[in-house]
């Protein structure tokens, strides 16, 4: 943990990771409530949501695999954070099932691009001796943050209604996007410096 905090740009990437896990990835755990309680589509609707997220995630993975370089990943990660935020805000405010499926698909696309972007930026800037430990911390924070966010969103949904936690998560991600672009130059200099262009 000390190594991550002392390495230039690394602490900021872990902040991005934690916020996206808590506010972005956690929304997927609320999809059963939306599919049945909001849209009335039940299990079939949940299947559509997951299929849309999965298909878009595959497209994002293929794009990043074909791209094959770390240069520019800070910008892509920031744009993807904004896409998740906008998708969640629209998803929370929609009463049309088909548009909501499209929004969940774009969220799935952007979440994969964020995850891959974070991993590329981290692995590009750490020493081989500590790579396993740093990536273990990455996995812990991603899964733990998602679990904590799901629990908090569920509790908040009981009080405010299921749409409000997703809307609040979207707003938080848009604020995060603004922060990312405010320090973009520093992140690019710190984390993309050894990359092949």
- The parts of the chain modelled with pLDDT lower than 70 are 1, 3-6, 194-197
Q: Which domains are seen in the chain, by residue range?
A: 12-189 (1.20.1250.20)
**Per-residue pLDDT tens digits for 86-129:** 999 999 998 899 999 999 999 999 999 999 999 988 888 887 88
Closest Cα to residue 170, out of 101, 97, 98, 110?
110
pLDDT of residue 197: 43
pLDDT of residue 2: 72
pLDDT value for 130: 82
pTM, two decimals, is 0.90
Q: Nearest to residue 13, comparing CAs of 192, 187, 193? A: 187
Per-residue model confidence (pLDDT) at position 5: 67
């Amino acid at each position: 943990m000390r190594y991550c905090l002392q390495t230039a740009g690394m602490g900021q990437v872990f902040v991005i990771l934690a916020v996206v896990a808590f506010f972005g990835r956690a929304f997927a755990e609320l999809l059963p409530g939306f599919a049945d309680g909001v849209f009335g589509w039940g299990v079939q609707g949940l299947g559509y949501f997951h299929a849309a997220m999965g298909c878009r995630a595959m497209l994002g993975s293929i794009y990043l695999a074909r791209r094959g370089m770390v240069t520019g990943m800070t910008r892509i990660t920031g744009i993807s954070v904004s896409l998740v935020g906008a998708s969640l805000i629209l998803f929370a405010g929609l009463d049309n099932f088909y548009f909501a499926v499209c929004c969940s698909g774009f969220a799935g696309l952007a979440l994969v691009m964020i995850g891959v972007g974070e991993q590329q930026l981290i692995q590009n800037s750490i020493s081989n001796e500590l790579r396993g430990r740093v990536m273990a911390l990455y996995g812990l924070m991603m899964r733990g943050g998602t679990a904590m966010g799901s629990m908090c969103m569920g509790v908040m949904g009981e009080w405010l209604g299921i749409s409000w936690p997703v809307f609040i998560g979207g707003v938080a991600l848009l604020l995060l996007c603004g922060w990312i672009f405010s320090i973009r130059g520093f992140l690019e200099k710190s984390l993309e410096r050894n990359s092949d262009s």
